Amino acid sequence: MNRRLFLSRVAAAAGFAGLTGAKILRAAPPESRGRFKLRYAPHFGMFAAHAGEDLVDQLKFIADQGFTAFQDTNLRSRSATEQTRIGREMARLNLSMGTFVATFDLRNPTFVLNDEAIRAKFLADLRDAGEVAKRVQARWVTIVPGLADRRLPWDYQTANAIDNFKRCAEIAEAAGLTMVMEPLNRLTNHPGMFLSEIPQAYMICRSVGSGSCKILFDVYHQQISEGNLLANIDSAWPEIAYFHAGDNPGRKEPGTGEINFRNVFRHLQAKNYDGIIGMEHGNARAGRDGELAVIQAYVDADAF
């Protein structure tokens, strides 16, 4: 079988224009260019059944499908060599880097304490994140401020968190980064977290008073914690710098749960949002068919 016939059969088997593996498809098909109105950002592993395990091949596949951004929550855990390789390929593909986690602790109180040793740890994490950001041209880093402390009155915890975020903001400002604090729901995934609601994050950001300290609005978490998504987006808008998508229940792609993502995305475009929306969820179905379903879900949700 000649190479041209082989490639045409692979493309037909994919069942979706342009969705052959990245090892085969290098240039974006014409129909995928400008496919999306907003900047949705897949992550590593989301399309591995098509692209394979190599991270650069996955980036190529992401760009081939018309996505213009990418997010890697675990970027700090990768070697400097791998980070540099990722950054170079993203620059070549003209993919914008979304956020990655600078510091988090899901088991212990951190930001709610006035503790010098704990503070030294997350400040060091943030400085290291600044070096990582340079390798991939990142502008945002995620901060998860740990558990609440049951022994300490809530207002003291809040005051400590504000002071600690102010210290972090000094580092972020110097590095040209925006920290985005992420409220996590307590009801389904993260019981005991200090930061769980958008009004709470908004109050902290206003108290810190830095352009480098903003909110990451995770639609999945906020649907669980408080709902009223569009109204909370509007109320907190001056302090929101980044979004995560994920349907509820299940934390899978749009259309698998109860959230009307087409309306949410329409609302963001109407507010002239030009930032990134991290695809912070799993695939509802495994394999190549599940990956095609994820892409189609964003095509559908973006059709407003």
Q: Where are the domains of the chain?
A: 21-301
pLDDT of residue 38 exceeding 50: yes
pLDDT at 122: 98
The confidence score (pLDDT) of residue 186 equals: 98
pLDDT tens digits for range 159-191: 999 999 999 999 999 999 999 999 999 999 999
**pLDDT at residue 32 in the model:** 60
Is 70 exceeded by the pLDDT of residue 10? no
DSSP state of 20: S
Average pLDDT of the chain, as a whole number: 92
pLDDT of the residue at 52:
98
User: Before 145, cis peptide (omega within 30)?
Assistant: no
Give yes or no for residue 123 having a pLDDT over 60: yes
Residue 124 vs residues 117, 120, 224: alpha-carbon distances, Å: 11, 6, 32
Name which CATH class applies to 21-301. Answer: alpha beta
Structural Rg of the chain based on CA atoms: 20
**What is the rounded distance in angstroms from the CA atom of residue 144 to the CA atom of residue 285?**
29
With beta carbons less than 8 A apart as the criterion, state whether 87 and 40 touch. no
Residue type, 211: G
User: E strands within 111-234?
Assistant: 140-144, 178-181, 213-218
pLDDT in tens, 146-166: 999 999 999 999 999 999 999
- The answer to whether residues 229 and 223 touch, using CB atoms and an 8 Å cutoff, is yes
* CB-count burial class (<10 Å; 0-12, 13-18, 19+) for 163: middle
Across residues 246-273, what is the average pLDDT? 98
Q: What is the pTM of this model?
A: 0.90
Question: Which residue would you say has higher pLDDT here, 18 or 141?
Answer: 141
Q: Each residue of 281-303: b (16+ CB within 10 Å) or e?
A: bbbbeeebebbbbbbebbeebbe
Tokens of 162: 């504000």
Task: Work out the number of other CB atoms within 10 angstroms of the CB of residue 134.
Answer: 15
DSSP tally for the chain: helices H, then strands E: 11, 9
Percent of the chain beyond pLDDT 90? 88
Share of the chain above pLDDT 70, in %: 89
Burial per residue of 197-220, b for 16 or more beta-carbon CB atoms within 10 angstroms, e otherwise = bbebbbebbeebebebbbbbbbbb
Residue 15's pLDDT band (boundaries 50, 70, 90)? very low
More confident residue, 33 or 265: 265
